[in-house]
Amino acid sequence: MLFARIYGTIGHMKNGLWTFRYTLINVTYFIAFCTIHAMAAVYLLANGFTNTEVGVLLAVANITSALVQPIIAGIIDKPGPLTNRRFILISVMVILIGSVLLRFLSSYKAIVFIIYALIYMIQFAYQPVMTALCFEYQKAGCSIFYGLARGLGSASFAVTSAFIGGAVEKNGVDLLLVVNVITMILSAVVVFTFKKPESENEDPASENETKGTAHNNIVEFAKTYPAFTVFLVGTICFYFAHNMINDFMIQIIRSLGGAETELGYANFLQAILELPVMAVIGFFLKKISSDKMLVFSGTAFFVKILILMFVSNMAGMYVSQSFQLFAYAVFIPAAAYYVSKTMDELDQVKGQAYVTSAITVGGVFSNLISGVILDNLGIKAMLGTGCVVCAIGVIIGFIAMNKLPHHA
């Protein structure tokens, strides 16, 4: 009896360590996500870029990311040297080296454009691979609490946001690069040591079993999952509005009388609200289907930007940001669960990649259009455009999830 209790305690500790280590991967990712993505406009404007140039750079990075994500997923799905863990490690090293180069080459605008676009792109590209890594390890017998780990990743973004804005005001934008380097070194160590024990790997016979059919051709994939494919169009619209707010938040905040410190507070608020939702979303998904949760989250994206359209001070900005609780915080885990539940096993990594690609494409259109509208017509015109596009996305998402088959 005593030995059984001791063995059980050790088992719980090992299970907790898997979640803890996977959480560290998420935490380091989202700290850098704050400094690279949320603070992109701050860094680039400080280095002499215009709003339009910022939009073009982010569009180039997002287009490249959207194109490479499904390709990477297809390669990882096949047996070979490129695994989820190895691709994450490669991505981390690219961001680390790129940040070091930016520190010494910031006076060369063309070089800054290339390097920043690269690290911005690669960070987006390995986000769905982190999700796939979790499912891979769970399948291998490693107990990982995805919702908690992902929620704590958002919390790390929130904490970073709360401090980084004021710190940048005092110390300059090069501080962002220092944070990148430190977090990527830690991430590299964690990812390098994040290996499945031999005893927890699947046996060769089970690895050779084919569960479902792989649909590598995008047309075949769309025919097999019509609801999901059409919903991706709605997702593009949601994230057109979402990225419009995030990428040009500093300009919005300045128009409301704020500065980099308030930018940090706004990012902190929306990110910290993600933690409780992501931590308990698994329980809600037992009561409410993931497809209904996705439509609900799309509606919340629309309400968020609609509120922002009419605010006149920072208090209104914070109210708008609080809708992250129902928008992004619901969408991300609900999309992961939807792919896991609906798709054949051999399509699930691609499904995760297509979600992130749709998010990225939304960012592309936002980057291409938002900066130009902002420079020529102002913030209200930009936000109004976001409202219209997001509303169209809600309609598309509702039709997709309620009128079309989820699996042909």
Query: Quick one: pLDDT at residue 296?
Result: 94
Report yes or no: 259 and 168 within 8 Å, Cβ to Cβ: no
Query: Quick one: pLDDT at residue 95?
Result: 95
In terms of CATH architecture, what is 2-196+216-403?
A: Up-down Bundle (1.20)
- Angle of helix 260-272 versus helix 314-322 axis, rounded to 10: 30
Map tokens 């509702």 to a residue: 398
Report yes or no: 170 and 46 within 8 Å, Cβ to Cβ: no
Give burial (CB, 10 Å; 0-12/13-18/19+) of 315. Answer: exposed
Check the CA dihedral 55-252-309-34 and report its sign.
Answer: positive
Tokens of 374: 């902002």
First to last CA, the chain: 51
Phi, psi of 67 (to 5 degrees): -75, -40
Query: Quick one: pLDDT at residue 231?
Result: 94
pTM above 0.85, yes or no: no
Query: Quick one: pLDDT at residue 186?
Result: 95
Q: Where in the chain are the domains?
A: 2-196+216-403
Helix, strand, or coil here: 273? coil
pLDDT mean for each 10 residues of the chain (408 residues): 41 67 94 89 87 83 83 77 89 94 88 93 88 83 84 84 82 91 95 75 46 69 88 94 86 85 79 79 82 93 93 88 88 87 79 86 83 87 94 94 83
Query: Quick one: pLDDT at residue 16?
Result: 61
Angle at 26 between CA 315 and CA 182, to 5 degrees: 90
Torsion of CA 241, 242, 243, 248, to 10 degrees: 80
